[in-house]
Structure 1
Amino acid sequence: MPRALITGVTGQDGMYLAEFLAAKGYEIFGLIHGQNNPRIPAVRRVAPSIHLLDGDLLDLRSLIRAMETSQPDEVYNLGAISFVGLSWRQAEITSEVTAMGVLRILEAIQVHTHNDMSRVRFYQASSSEMFGNVHEVPQRETTAFHPRSPYGVAKTFGHYMTVNYRESYGAHACSGILFNHESPRRGHEFVTRKVTRGAARVALGLQKRLTLGNLEARRDWGFAGDYVEAMWLILQEDQADDYVVATGETHSIRDLLDIAFSRVGIEDWTRYVVQDARLFRPADVNLLVGDASHARARLGWKPRVKFRDLIEMMVDDDLADLQRGA
């Protein structure tokens, strides 16, 4: 039975990955910070046999202990402070967790393996936010990075540190440069969930207005459940490498609003949406769209869930959740 250690297991990606690996017969260990995390019951529902270990990406010793306890064949580093907007207000802690956390877990693997790092396969959750002020469209593995947020800078550090350990120490260390990926498990602070839940609340008479920032920003949105399969496929390759994981399609916030409000029977969302300049990012990214041809050719991976189906899935889940609460 293969063994996997997942950091960030209580997040959207962590839960989908735990569920995916459990179905493949893995023994799964999930790193959590503190035993009172409110999302622990949700993790146990999707992966009942998971072993939860106390640890922190800020604490190298706890990561070494987690390695010794789990004895993993594969490590998936999904832990991060991942809300981009927050990173300007909390740049230091974002850097400590999202950037230095990668270094610490690579160091923990090095200590655990007694410098034979190829014994453990490592996946780093890199991000399309590293491309930032894009140098070419679409973005691929060779596109230069120009991050436009403290979060993007931190992810770029973690990405290059992963490459450095691969080249310097022979680590089987890979990165998936994932473009935006969403699901009903996405946190309410993210714009997709803010829109789908807002549309559901407006339709149910629980909310009159939805306040948003830049409606022109465009992103490449996919389904998180599809993307965790790519993470696993990346680590099954004998040669460690980095891969863009994306749909190759781009949509604006306006497109997102069109689909979400239409799903609840409202065709003209402009009566319910208010723009607030305070929600604009200090330095925004206007166009992100990925070229996943490398992943398609090497891994045989491609996204299954279309953008419209994804947003409608999220709206339906929000409606059901709010109706249960009512």
Structure 2
Amino acid sequence: MKRALITGITGQDGLYLAELLLAKGYEVHGIIRGQNNPKRALVEAIVPEVVLHTGDLTDLSGLLRALHASQPDEVYNLGAVSFVAYSWENAQVTTEVTGNGVLNILEAIRLYAGDDVSKVRFYQASSSEMFGKVQEVPQRESTLLWPRSPYGVAKVYGHYMTINYRESYGMHASSGILFNHESPRRGPEFVTRKVTLAVAEFARGRTEPLAMGNLHAKRDWGYAGDYVEGMWRMLQQDTADDYVLATGQTHSIHELLDVAFRHVGIDDWAGHVTQDPRFMRPAEVDLLIGDASKARDVLGWQPTVSFERLVTMMVDSDLAALDARRS
């Protein structure tokens, strides 16, 4: 039985990945921050088979303890301060966790594995936000990185540190450059979930307008359940490498609103949405669209859920949750 250790297991991707690995017969371990983490109950409810360890990406000794306790064949680093808007408010914490945290987990693996450093395969969750001020459309693995947020800068550091440990120590370390991927488990602070939650409320009588930022920004949105399959496939390869995971299609926030509101029978949503300068980024990333041909050719990976299906899935989930709370 293979063993896997997941950081960031309380997040959207961590939960989907844990489910995937358990279904494949893995023994799954997760690192959770703090003894009284409020999300512990969520993990225990969704994936009760997962063995949880207390740890933190900023604490090298704690990571080493988790490695010795779990003895993993694979480590998936999904932990990060991942909300881009927050990264401007607290760039230092974002850098410590999202950037330096990658160095800590890589170094912990190197120390744990000793002379047989390749015995633990490592996955780093890189991000399309690294492309920032895009220098090429679509973006691929070789596209110049030009991040436009503290989060993006921290992800670039972690991405290159992963490459450095692969080249310097022979670690089986791969990075997945994932474009936006969403699901009903997405946090409510992210724009897709912010929209689908609000649309569900409008369908049940909400009157307060939804305040939004730039409606013209475009993103390449896919389904998180598809993307964790790509993560796993990367670590099954004989040779570690970096891969873009994306749908190859781009949609604007305006289109997101169109699909979500139309799903609940509201065709003209202009009166329900306002634009608020507070939600405008200091430096916007206007167009992200990924070229996942390498992942398709090498990993045999491709997305299965369309943009429209993804949005309606999220709206339906939020409607069901809202109705359950009211019943």
- Shorter-normalised TM-score: what interval? over 0.9
Counterpart-to-counterpart distance in 2, 1:213 and 1:206: 20
Deviation per CA, 1:141-192: give whole Å up to 9, x if none.
Answer: 0000000000000000000000000000000000000000000000000000
Q: Aligned residue for 1:56?
A: 56
Q: Report the residue type matching 2:267 in the other structure.
A: E
- Alignment match, 1:41: 41
The answer to whether the 8 Å contact 2:207/2:272 transfers is no
Specify the alignment match of 2:108 in structure 1. 108
SS class of match (1:321): helix
The match for 1:139 is 139
Indicate conservation of the 8 Å contact 1:76/1:123, yes or no.
yes
The answer for the alignment partner of 1:24 in structure 2 is 24
* Offset of residue 206 of structure 1: 3.2
Matching residue's letter, 1:156: V
Q: Partner of 2:277 in structure 1?
A: 277
SS in structure 1 of the partner of residue 48 of structure 2: coil
Report the Cα offset of residue 115 of structure 1: 4.1
Distance in 1 (CA, whole Å) between partners of 2:263 and 2:223 is 18
Answer yes or no: is 1:231 the counterpart of 2:237: no
Per-residue CA deviations over 1:20-64 (Å, capped at 9, x if unaligned) read: 101001000000011322222222233221100000001000000
Paired residue secondary structure (1:5) = strand
CA contact (8 A) 1:141 1:243 kept: yes
CA distance in structure 2 between the partners assigned to 1:118 and 1:207 by the alignment: 57
Contact 1:179/1:290 (CA < 8 Å) preserved in 2? yes
Tell me which amino acid in the other structure corresponds to 2:195: V
Work out whether residues 121 and 235 of structure 1, in 8 Å CA contact, stay in contact via their aligned partners in 2. Answer: yes
Secondary structure (helix, strand or coil) at the match of 2:238 reads coil
Judged with a 3 Å threshold, the aligned counterparts in structure 2 of structure 1 residues 207 and 50 are, in CA distance, closer, same or farther, namely farther
The equivalent of 1:304 in structure 2 is 304
Asked whether the equivalents of residues 18 and 46 of structure 1 are also in contact (C-alpha less than 8 Å), the reply is no
Residue of structure 2 in register with 1:193 after alignment: 193
- Structure 1 contact 2–27 (Cα < 8 Å) conserved: yes
Q: Which residue of 2 aligns with 1:126?
A: 126
Displacement of 1:14 = 0.2
TM-score normalised per structure 2: 0.99
Find the residue that maps to 2:235 and give its secondary structure. helix
How do 1:246-325 residues align onto structure 2 when only pairs under 5 Å count? 246-325=246-325
Shift of residue 117, structure 1, vs aligned partner: 1.6
Which AA in structure 2 matches 1:242?
D
Q: Which amino acid aligns with 1:234?
A: M
The question of whether the paired residues in 2 share the 8 Å contact of 1:139 and 1:290 is answered with yes
- SS of residue matched to 1:106: helix
Q: Secondary structure at the match of 2:111?
A: helix
Q: SS of the residue aligned with 2:123?
A: strand
Over 3 Å counting, the alpha-carbon distance change for 1:226 and 1:275 in structure 2 is: same
Structure 1 moving runs of 4+ over 3 Å: none
Q: CA offset at residue 207 of structure 1?
A: 4.2
TM-score by length of 1: 0.99
Determine whether 1:160 maps to 2:160. yes
Match of 1:263, as an amino acid?
H
- What are the Cα deviations for residues 185-214 of structure 1, in whole angstroms up to 9, with x where unaligned? 000000000000011111111342100000
Q: Which runs of 5+ in 2 are unaligned?
A: none
SS in 2 for 1:141: coil
CA distance in 2 between counterparts of 1:273 and 1:194 reads: 12
Amino acid in the other structure paired with 1:100:
N
Calculate percent identity across the aligned residue pairs: 65
Could you tell me how far apart the structure 1 residues matched to 2:3 and 2:224 are? 22
Q: Is residue 12 of structure 1 aligned with residue 9 of structure 2?
A: no
Q: Which amino acid aligns with 2:28?
A: I
**1:253-279 CA deviation, whole Å, 9 max, x = no partner?**
000000100111100111100001121
Structure 1 counterpart of 2:132, one-letter code: G
Give, in whole Å, the separation in 2 of the partners of 1:115 and 1:55: 25
> What is the aligned-residue RMSD (CA, Å)?
0.7
